[in-house]
Amino acid sequence: MSAQVLDGKRIRDEILSELKPRIAKLRRPPGLAVVLVGHDPGSEVYVRNKIKACGDLGIYSEKIAPPETITTGELLGIVDGLNQRPEIDGILVQMPLPKQVDSRKVLVSVQPDKDVDGFHPVNVGNLVAGIPGPRACTPSGIMEMLKRYQIGVAGKNAVVVGRSDIVGKPMALLLLHANATVTICHSKTADLAAECRRADILVAAIGRANLLGRDHIRPGAVVIDVGMNRMADGKLLGDVDQDAERDLASAFTPVPGGVGPLTIAMLMSNTVQAAERHLCSASA
């Protein structure tokens, strides 16, 4: 039986079309501010896609592009200004920031209720405790994909390869809340292949092209590849060898077109949710 390809674009379109009536109900459009420092080519593409998605949905978006030479203090001033503006529901500071800027300080300066990336320690704490709030976009998009493809998570062995604050850790927590038995692997894991082969659901989020191959995939596993590795020839490769997952997995996400489209869809969802909360508390 051939492996099912999990189509991120299809799920993205479903999520976005469900947001439209919610946006139409609000008495003003949701507002998203994107702060892009400098000219990192990858970041510029991401930001362009985020702003296009806002335009398509009727979300007000604002791009703030300070110079590469900005100081931490100046950037904190920009974020503080956005925190004060009631028509801005979400603030997104595009990573990476230049070396002279204290990234952690900047991320923590975003008000938790405007943190549509789900990175603020308050929102991470809410995730750990199972309290509602914005969740990291890529992991929450993956959970939506599993749900909409009716891939059961409860009671399954899930292995997450990668322990970043953006994907690995929140992914493990969301799977745990969905009653999976979760293992987190990383660069110091003793026998990575053996750990991965125990997985019913394998999530690869390490950022190294084709690191996981046939030895890492248990036949019939569901493989979610978060990797987006741009090769010298311009080709995009995931963290998992696509031939191996095609041959062994029961279902897998392609790169590109798998997890990538979901990230922006969940950013839009978090922004709409923030606007709903802000407008509800304003009228209360």
The phi and psi torsions of 275 (rounded to 5 degrees) equal: -65, -40
CATH superfamily of 28-113: Leucine Dehydrogenase, chain A, domain 1 (3.40.50.10860)
Q: Which 3 state secondary structure label does DSSP give 237?
A: strand
The phi and psi torsions of 20 (rounded to 5 degrees) equal: -55, -50
**Region(s) of the chain under CATH 3.40.50.720:** 137-260
Helix (H) or strand (E) holding 229: strand 229-230
**Region(s) of the chain under CATH 3.40.50.10860:** 28-113
Confidence at residue 263, expressed as pLDDT on a 0 to 100 scale: 95
Give the CA dihedral 236, 40, 48, 208, nearest 10 degrees: 30
Helix (H) or strand (E) holding 251: strand 251-252
CA separation, residue 260 to residues 15, 61, 65, 220, 279 (Å): 14, 21, 24, 23, 30
Active site annotation includes 94: yes
Rounded to an integer, what is the distance from CA 269 to the centroid of its chain?
12
Under 8 Å between Cβ of 183 and 157 = yes
pLDDT digits (tens, 9 = 90+) for 131-176: 999 999 999 999 999 999 999 999 999 999 999 999 999 999 999 9
Considering the four listed CATH numbers 3.40.50.150, 3.40.50.720, 3.90.850.10, 3.40.50.970, the one that applies to the domain covering 137-260 is: 3.40.50.720
Confidence at residue 1, expressed as pLDDT on a 0 to 100 scale: 67
Token pair for 276: 């709903």
The phi and psi torsions of 66 (rounded to 5 degrees) equal: -70, 160
**Active-site entry in 113, 117, 200, 241:** 117
Q: Which 3 state secondary structure label does DSSP give 51?
A: helix
Strand partners, 236: 230
Confidence at residue 281, expressed as pLDDT on a 0 to 100 scale: 81
pLDDT digits (tens, 9 = 90+) for 204-234: 999 999 999 999 999 999 999 999 998 999 8
**Active-site entry in 94, 113, 114, 169:** 94
Confidence at residue 284, expressed as pLDDT on a 0 to 100 scale: 61
Confidence at residue 140, expressed as pLDDT on a 0 to 100 scale: 98
Under 8 Å between Cβ of 155 and 179 = yes
In the predicted model, residues of the chain with pLDDT beneath 70 are: 1, 284
Confidence at residue 40, expressed as pLDDT on a 0 to 100 scale: 84
The C-alpha atoms of residue 142 and residue 89 are separated, in whole angstroms, by: 24
Q: How much of the chain exceeds pLDDT 70, in percent?
A: 99
Model confidence, pTM: 0.95
**Active-site entry in 50, 114, 156, 169:** 50
